[in-house]
Amino acid sequence: MKLLKHIQITCISSVLILLSNCGSNAIDPIEIEKDDTPSDLIISDLDEDGIINEADSCDTTPSGALIDAYGCRIINEYDPNYFLVWQDEFSDEGALDSTKWHHQIIPPNNGGWFNGEKQHYTDRITNSYVSDDALIIKAIKESYEVDGSIQNYTSARLNATFSFRYGRIDVRAKLPGSAGTWPAIWTLGTNINEIGNYFGSTYGNVGWPSCGEIDIMEQNGWDKTELIGHFHWGHTSTGEYASYGKTAIIEDAMDEFHIYSLEWTQGQLKVLLDNNVFLTMNNTASIPYDNPHYILLNIAMGGNLGGAIEADFSSDSMQVDYVRVYMKE
């Protein structure tokens, strides 16, 4: 009987592992119906993570944590002190997951967008979609009207529906190479209450720059070998605008995927390219980086940082392999 019980446990453990996603991404918990359990076998899952104890390598996982196929929390590949709390691996073809992403499409600046940008953002699948396990944000030359305002380009501006305070963001992406494109991976404070954004006034109504902005990756439209990291904020006492940023050299941003990252703690903010820090700023009481932020992904056209758009531009895109957010205990 002991041998039979051992075989039963081994078989069930093997099936659970095979059914699980064996990669490093989060998996859906697997439940075993009580009525299907053999009467002589007691199955226990002490940490209730969907992996039975016999197959669980980490049997004290906190409730609700994202885990791998062996029941262990998923750690950051560069820093094991960070645990995965939110992700999109863009594995489902077609439309974006609307539980994770919001299309911001309402122009907030008198029918247009700020910074002299030349596009309208849409929620059409032609401007943002998943293909070959990657998010595609596609800027297209076409006439498009929103409430009487006509622009000659369309694109997508995505808000993550997840907010967080302190942690690490890793975004693996390939950037557009056309002159005039202005790609960005960035964050804003959830208390901005910008027209058409996901969070509205849920967390406040301080506006920009008092909400704080973190530019993890920007590129201008005329030098695609330059990468920009930048902080913009309003002083927490006076509201006075201030900013600080640096650049890094990147030779193949449009041909190869790179990892664009932010490390944000109570004491410091760091922007990284392929895990190499190129911008650091101390986090003090005078700057508003103690409130939750959300991620934005977009391509703008023209404007202050996009510059002149090439005359024969037809379309270009930013490809995103994954977006991952990690936090410490």
Whether 315 maps to a domain, the answer reads yes
Q: 54 and 121 share a domain? A: no
**Which of these ranges, 16-20, 190-194, 244-248, 288-292, has the smallest mean pLDDT?**
16-20
> How many CB atoms are located within 10 Å of the residue 75 CB?
15
Which one-letter DSSP state was computed for residue 198?
S
Cα 30 to Cα 21: distance, rounded to the nearest angstrom: 11
Q: What is the CATH number of the domain that holds 159?
A: 2.60.120.200
**What are phi and psi for residue 304, nearest 5 degrees?**
-55, -40
Q: 92 and 170 share a domain? A: yes
Q: Say yes or no to pLDDT of 7 above 50.
A: no
Q: 45 and 178 share a domain? A: no
Q: 175 and 234 share a domain? A: yes
Q: Say yes or no to pLDDT of 273 above 80.
A: yes
Q: 100 and 55 share a domain? A: no
> How many CB atoms are located within 10 Å of the residue 88 CB?
23
Indicate the residue among 10, 44, 73 that finishes a domain. 73
Indicate the residue among 18, 49, 73 that finishes a domain. 73
Give the model confidence (pLDDT) of 93-138 as tens digits.
999 999 999 999 999 999 999 999 999 999 999 999 999 999 999 9
Whether 80 maps to a domain, the answer reads no
Whether 1 maps to a domain, the answer reads yes
Cα 297 to Cα 197: distance, rounded to the nearest angstrom: 13
Q: 267 and 198 share a domain? A: yes
Domain that holds residue 161: 85-327
CA distances from 91 to 96, 134, 272, 321 (A): 10, 7, 25, 9
**Is the model more confident about 9 or about 117?**
117
Whether 169 maps to a domain, the answer reads yes
Whether 17 maps to a domain, the answer reads yes
Q: 63 and 94 share a domain? A: no
Reported confidence tier of residue 33, pLDDT bands at 50, 70, 90? very low
Whether 322 maps to a domain, the answer reads yes
260 Cβ contact list (under 8 Å, min separation 6): 170, 171, 172, 173, 185, 216, 217, 272, 273
Which one-letter DSSP state was computed for residue 71?
S
Whether 78 maps to a domain, the answer reads no
Whether 40 maps to a domain, the answer reads yes
pTM of the predicted model over 0.85: yes
Give the model confidence (pLDDT) of 286-315 as tens digits.
999 999 999 999 999 999 999 999 999 999
Q: 66 and 90 share a domain? A: no
Q: What's the pLDDT at 41?
A: 54
Cα 95 to Cα 128: distance, rounded to the nearest angstrom: 8
| Strand-strand pairing, 276-282 and 149-155 | unpaired
Q: 156 and 224 share a domain? A: yes
Q: 13 and 126 share a domain? A: no
List % helix, strand, coil for the chain (3-state, nearest 5).
10, 40, 50
Instruction: State how many domains the chain has.
Output: 2
221 Cβ contact list (under 8 Å, min separation 6): 179, 180, 181, 182, 302, 305, 306, 307, 308, 309
Q: 186 and 242 share a domain? A: yes
Q: Say yes or no to pLDDT of 265 above 90.
A: yes
Contacts 24+ apart (CB under 8 A), 126-129: 126/154, 127/154, 127/155, 127/156, 128/96, 128/103, 128/156, 128/158, 129/94, 129/95, 129/96
Q: 164 and 132 share a domain? A: yes
Partners of 270 in the β-ladder: 263, 280
Indicate the residue among 73, 106, 137 that finishes a domain. 73
Q: What's the pLDDT at 40?
A: 52
